[in-house]
Structure 1
Amino acid sequence: MNKLDLRQAIVSFLRSKLAVAVSSAQRAIESATDEETVPEHKYDTLALEASYLAHGQAMRVQECEQEIQRITTMLLPDAPDKVMLGSLVSLLDVDDKRQCFFLAPCAGGLKVPLQHHSIMLVTFDSPLGKALKAKRVGDEVSYKIGKIDYNYEIETIS
């Protein structure tokens, strides 16, 4: 699987997310500055609440832009011998079911369809990411979330 194609698919998803965030921020700003939100008395907080929402949406836009920048500029290792940032990892569970993960600097949890596969982005801050860090092909990976134990074997790293 081509990691450059994967990166393009990730950036495409992130740009869609950014477009929604920009639209939401614009609506929130319009709401905060609308003449109907002008307070009529000291207990009327509609304008204040709208300005908080506009600020939050603007921060969301900034975060989306940063994610796109980080994914776009990250190095993609060619043939890593161990799991590192930019690695595409195929794991087998105890039932020999294959799952694909991409080690990314951000956007953990995002699922990207590519070439009839669903690839989930994982960061090293997540339980799975911590368990994968610096592992090699054939190594076992175990981690726990809540009361559920997860166990995998690393099939491939690219």
Structure 2
Amino acid sequence: MDKSLLRQQVLERLAEDLLRVEQAAQTAHEAATHEENIAENKYDTLGLEAAYLATGQARRADAIRQAIVSWRSFSLALYNPSQGIQLGALIVLVDADDKQQRLFIGPEGGNMTLSCDGELTQVISSQAPLARALLGKFEGDEVSLEVASVRREFEVLKVY
């Protein structure tokens, strides 16, 4: 279980996302400032809508840049059984149907699925409800989480 490889994949994915968002922001900015989009009356809002879109894309780009800084700066400590699950943990969970899933808890900018060691790993932010429920737990502990009025139960099989 190579957590440094997972971190590198996260950084690559964030860099790709940043490039796409920056391109979208540039396109929206060009549309907002194009002479054909100058409002001719109060109902002509194409330029204004493009400006709002450009602002939103710029904010998203800033959030991705911050996530990249966070991922680069956080250390990948080995699992300490006396402390339980912490930021940077790679966890194998099993649910009531005996279905296993791998999670990697990162600082922010999660919500992506990566392939490592031939298995899929879901990257989640430390602020995600499941991550908050897992922090401080130990191998063998059970975790209960309610999502959309449905209670889900998991057992922590392994932590790396």
Do the two structures share a fold, i.e. TM-score over 0.5? yes
Secondary structure at 1:75's aligned position in 2?
coil
Measured against aligned partners, the alpha-carbon deviations of 1:15-67 in whole angstroms (never above 9, x if no partner) come to: 11111101101100110111101122343222221111111111111111111
Once the two structures are TM-superposed, the CA of residue 107 in structure 1 deviates from its matched residue by 2.2
Residue matched to 1:102: 104
Establish whether residue 114 from structure 1 lines up as the match of residue 132 from structure 2.
no
Deviation at 1:152, TM superposition (A): 1.3
Q: Note the alpha carbon deviations across 1:86-125, whole angstroms, 9 max, x for none.
A: 1111112223322110111212321112221111122333
Range 28-37 or range 76-85, more displaced: 76-85
Q: Structure 1 residue runs of 4+, over 3 Å off? A: none
Gaps of at least 5 residues in structure 2 are none
Across the aligned residues of Structure 1 and Structure 2, the Cα RMSD in angstroms comes to 1.4
1:127 aligns with 2:129: yes
Looking at structure 2, the residues matched to 120 and 129 of structure 1 have their Cα atoms a distance apart, in angstroms, of 11
Corresponding pairs, count? 158
Residue 88 (structure 1) aligned with residue 97 (structure 2): no
Distance 1:80 1:32 in 2: 52
> Following the alignment from structure 1 to structure 2, what is the Cα–Cα distance between the partners of residues 68 and 124?
15
**Aligned counterparts of 2:132 and 2:138: Cα–Cα separation in 1:** 14
Q: How far apart, CA to CA, are the structure 1 residues paired with 2:68 and 2:28?
A: 23
TM-score normalised by L of structure 1: 0.92
> Is the 2:64–2:109 contact (alpha carbons within 8 Å) kept by the matching residues of 1?
no
**Counterpart check, 1:31 vs 2:25:** no
TM-score by length of 2: 0.91
SS at match of 1:61: helix
AA of the residue aligned to 1:54: A
Q: Which residue of 2 aligns with 1:149?
A: 151
Distance 2:158 2:123 in 1: 16
Identity of aligned residues (%): 36
* Letter of the structure 2 residue corresponding to residue 133 of structure 1: L
Cα distance in 1, alignment partners of residues 98 and 48 from structure 2:
54
